[in-house]
């Protein structure tokens, strides 16, 4: 499609910490067609860990340096920024940035607003979810990273992306997350597994289960740690590596000490080498546990990256994950909250390397077919062009 000028897009997000939504936005920034789009990023909060990565992708980054969520000054600062920017499209990510962005964007006269929902509605605190959902009418289009996310906001039926669907002018649709296979395969090819194990203090023959996720309740870290006491009872040299940060860190450290697992479980904190650590993992696990809240899940970037690295996945049975983790084919699916079944799955995959390798290979192939970042970026570009031409 020939355009008279570049489409000027500003993406708005809470922060630039190395979490899932921020990494989705980074991949979009790295792969978007710079000949068609003038793409920049604004973050509301102080964490700009990924700023250099965005700048290396040729993307300007602006931080409004807001100290706390829903600071009364945030809306005014954002309004002034958007008013001066002369943007064609505002694209918001996450509830906080979405709520403020849609209000400020309309007040500032931004011609078109898109919002992306990265999590199911009931995973948010009640007030956050209410404010997010009640301002969605201000967006021209809402994209969701999985059909389960779309369903939680809009009910059924859902609208998986297609060019034909986009032409019909939907209010909401699903664009799955994607991953950069070329980048991941390049990293894996250059990593020396023996050196990486030595760096992390892992023995050459030690089985490794890996988890990468924010340390928040519904990611299931407490279940993961509890299950690993059973794994260690059978395999004393087994190791569990957890990469992530969050409010549960001290609680999880205490749990590890109470279970006498300090030599087997390692909280690695915020890491920039997650893809490198995947090289030495035998299994990747993300045991969601919503503990009575909405029982919904979706395919996180971390799971997709593990599949790209040909690792079998152990995950809990929540709606949405079945699009990639097929029980018995690309991984093992266990009941949410069942630590005995979780431990059994780890032991099964560690003790049966042939099956583990087969699941990893099938997962790689499935992810490459359905979750390639190049395809997902082209879909977002189509959304931008549609919005621009109907402004």
| Each residue's pLDDT tens digit, 362-380 | 999 999 998 999 999 999 9
Phi, psi of 372 (to 5 degrees): -75, 130
Spell out the alpha helix ranges (H) of the chain.
20-31, 51-56, 72-85, 95-108, 126-134, 147-154, 163-167, 181-190, 193-200, 221-234, 249-258, 274-278, 301-308, 339-351, 353-370, 373-389
Residue that is written with structure tokens 């809402």 in the block = 142
| Burial group, residue 194, by CB count within 10 angstroms (0-12, 13-18, 19+) | exposed
| Burial group, residue 83, by CB count within 10 angstroms (0-12, 13-18, 19+) | middle
Contact (CB, 8 A) for 305 and 274: yes
Report CA 377 to chain centroid distance, whole Å.
Answer: 15
Phi, psi of 115 (to 5 degrees): -130, 140
Q: Which of 278, 300, 136 is nearest to 213 (CA)?
A: 300
> Whats the size of the chain, residue-wise?
391
Per-residue pLDDT tens digits for 289-336:
876 554 455 568 889 999 999 999 999 987 777 788 999 999 999 999
- Three-state secondary structure call for residue 8: strand
Give the list of residues 6+ apart from residue 292 with CB closer than 8 angstroms, or none.
Answer: none
d(CA 264, CA 167): 54
Is the model's pTM score more than 0.85?
A: no
Q: In Å, what is the CA distance from 232 to each residue of 130, 196, 353? A: 43, 22, 18
Per-residue pLDDT tens digits for 141-155:
999 998 888 998 999
Per-residue pLDDT tens digits for 209-264:
999 999 998 899 999 999 999 999 999 999 999 999 899 999 999 999 999 999 99
């Amino acid at each position: 499609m020939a355009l008279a000028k570049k489409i000027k897009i500003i993406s708005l997000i809470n922060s630039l910490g190395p979490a899932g939504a921020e990494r989705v936005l980074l991949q979009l920034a790295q792969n978007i067609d710079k000949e068609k789009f003038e793409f920049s990023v604004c973050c509301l909060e102080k964490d700009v860990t990924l700023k250099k990565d965005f700048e290396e992708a040729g993307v300007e980054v602006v931080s409004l340096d807001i100290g706390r969520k829903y600071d009364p000054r945030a809306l005014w600062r954002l309004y002034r920024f958007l008013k001066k920017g002369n943007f064609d499209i505002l694209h918001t990510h996450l509830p906080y940035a979405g709520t403020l962005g849609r209000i400020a964007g309309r007040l500032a006269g931004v011609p078109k607003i898109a919002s992306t929902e990265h999590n199911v509605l009931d995973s948010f605190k009640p007030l956050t979810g209410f404010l997010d959902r009640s301002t969605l009418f201000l967006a021209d289009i809402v994209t969701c990273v999985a059909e389960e996310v779309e369903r939680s906001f809009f009910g059924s039926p859902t609208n998986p992306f297609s060019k034909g669907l986009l032409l019909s002018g939907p209010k909401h649709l699903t664009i799955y997350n994607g991953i950069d296979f070329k980048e991941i395969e390049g990293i894996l090819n250059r990593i020396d597994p023996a050196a990486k194990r030595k760096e992390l203090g892992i023995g050459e023959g030690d089985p490794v289960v890996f988890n990468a996720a924010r340390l928040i309740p519904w990611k299931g870290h407490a279940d993961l740690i509890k299950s690993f006491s059973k794994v260690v009872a059978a395999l004393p040299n087994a190791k569990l590596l957890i990469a992530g940060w969050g409010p549960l860190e001290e609680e999880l450290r205490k749990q590890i000490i109470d279970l006498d697992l300090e030599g087997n479980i390692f909280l690695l904190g915020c890491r920039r080498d997650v893809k490198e650590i995947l090289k030495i993992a035998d299994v990747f696990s993300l045991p969601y546990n919503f503990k009575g809240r909405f029982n919904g899940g979706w395919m996180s970037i971390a799971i997709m990256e593990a599949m790209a690295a040909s690792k079998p996945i152990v995950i809990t049975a929540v709606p949405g994950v079945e699009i990639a983790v097929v029980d018995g084919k690309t991984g093992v699916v266990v009941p949410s909250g069942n630590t005995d079944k979780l431990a059994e799955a780890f032991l099964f995959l560690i003790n049966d390397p042939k099956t583990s390798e087969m699941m990893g290979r099938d997962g790689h192939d499935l992810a490459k077919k359905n979750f390639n970042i190049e395809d997902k970026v082209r879909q977002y570009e189509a959304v931008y062009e549609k919005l621009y031409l109907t402004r």
